Chain A
Amino acid sequence: MTKIELTVNGTTHSREVEDRALLVDVLRDHLQLTGTHIGCDTSQCGCCTVHVDGRAVKSCTMLAVQAAGADIVTIEGLSNGDQLHPVQQAFTDCHALQCGFCTPGMIMAISAFLKDNPHPTDDEIYHGLEGNLCRCTGYINIVKAVKRSAKLMK
């Protein structure tokens, strides 16, 4: 067991965790932040994407102890109070989801992607979404939402 401090959505938490605990399990089970989903658990689907020190990572493939001291943002911390983050707003506007299971990971991946690349081309969007799988909408509206997000963020 190791005692770690994590700053999650602006609040610093101190927790004793098993060295082998995954970041996603600590977020969900220790901090009750269940908006971060576990999809494939094999670092393919991207449902568990969160920001660690500003970069999108798959929290099922990172140990919580590796994130000690890091600044973490999850889907719960993205909005500004009642004001949705532009990517959240764009997903609503474009109906970029069906069952919604992949949505938190999609939104976290896209919000990080647009920070690097605020005016992406279609090909750059496809490449930027490589790490996230959606099994129901077929991506068309998700890609629309990325473009709409980019507009909203101008």
Chain B
Amino acid sequence: MFQFNYVKAKSLSDAQALIAANPDAKLLSGGMTLIPTLKQRLAQPSHLVDIGGLSELRGIEVNDAQLVIGAATRHHDVATSPVVKKTLPALASLAYQIGDPQVRNRGTLGGSIANNDPAADYPAAVLALDATIVTNKREIGASDFFQGMFATALEEGEIVVRVRFNIPKRAAYEKFAHPASGYAMAGVFVADGSAGLRVAVTGAASGVFRWSEAEQALTKKLNFAALEGLPLDLTNMNEDIHATREYRANLARVMTKRALLNMLAQK
């Protein structure tokens, strides 16, 4: 790692001031992506501003048919929260499938979505549930937030504070995890909620996306057969040593079916 100065923010406003005063500073939450990145010398921040311990960024609560989760809430806490398990079990299940236990004990919701790794799990839920990302400056809708591989609508100095998930009637997440890394080769979050029927796919393409053909077909007829033979655009599919475009597209289709079956089995 290159040298940097570590500063533990005392509050959100303190973090904001530190980031504003140091243009080459980076925010540190769980560090599950940032620390490996620093170890590979792929980044050289002047400061690391640690917001992982801020109580303002922690917590899980239900408010007006929305599940509100603080940005620095750890994956383990989401996976095991009785509130999440009761109101949005698909999200608890998603969090339980992230990385491994040690990673879930450190990694955070805000860190995951701010990083927007194309194979991260949370973006699929955020998009499928039409969640609102609340920052220190504004509120951003999920469809505006994710802007392709590692890109988001966040501006310099903008800090994710919490995420408001619309609680759906029912939802499910299924992923085909890469056996070594645990990252999604394809992960699909299907939600039947106030925003209609939504299908969000992560891992398969350069960024999380909604499979609109599947959404339309399932809106007409909410069953398994509706997914047969539906087109899935290969243009943006990832192709690497792990899988071809066609294979990833097929995984996305199969995960959509599994998520649908899982969702339809719920009451």
Contact = CB atoms under 8 A, between A and B. Distances in A.
Given A2-B6, A43-B32, A61-B35, A130 B182 contact: yes
Contacts of A127: 96
B38 interface: yes
Contacts of B181: 44
Size bin of chain A's contact surface? 20 to 34
Interface stretch (A8-16, A51-59, A87-95, A141-149): A51-59
A44 B180 contact: yes
Given A43-B103, A61-B31, A113-B101, A66 B50 contact: yes
B180 to A, nearest CB: 7
Interface in A76-100: none
A19 B4 contact: yes
A116 B3 CA distance: 37
B234 to A, nearest CB: 30
B38 A20 contact: yes
B95 to A, nearest CB: 13
A33 interface: no
A19 B6 contact: yes
B187 interface: no
Given A43-B36, A55-B76, A61-B32, A131 B103 contact: yes
A71 interface: no
B86 interface: no
A34 B50 CA distance: 28
Given A20-B3, A63-B31, A66-B52, A41 B101 contact: no
A107 interface: no
Interface string A20-33: 10000000000000
Interface string B41-79: 000000010101000000000000000000000001000
A131 B5 contact: no
A46 to B, nearest CB: 6
B213 interface: no
Contacts of B100: 46, 130-132
A41 B39 contact: yes
Contacts of A46: 100, 102
B101 A128 contact: yes
Contacts of B203: none
B207 interface: no
B105 interface: yes
Nearest to B181: A44
B105 A62 contact: no
- Nearest 8 CB-CB pairings of A with B: A131-B100, A130-B100, A19-B6, A55-B105, A20-B1, A131-B102, A65-B6, A58-B102
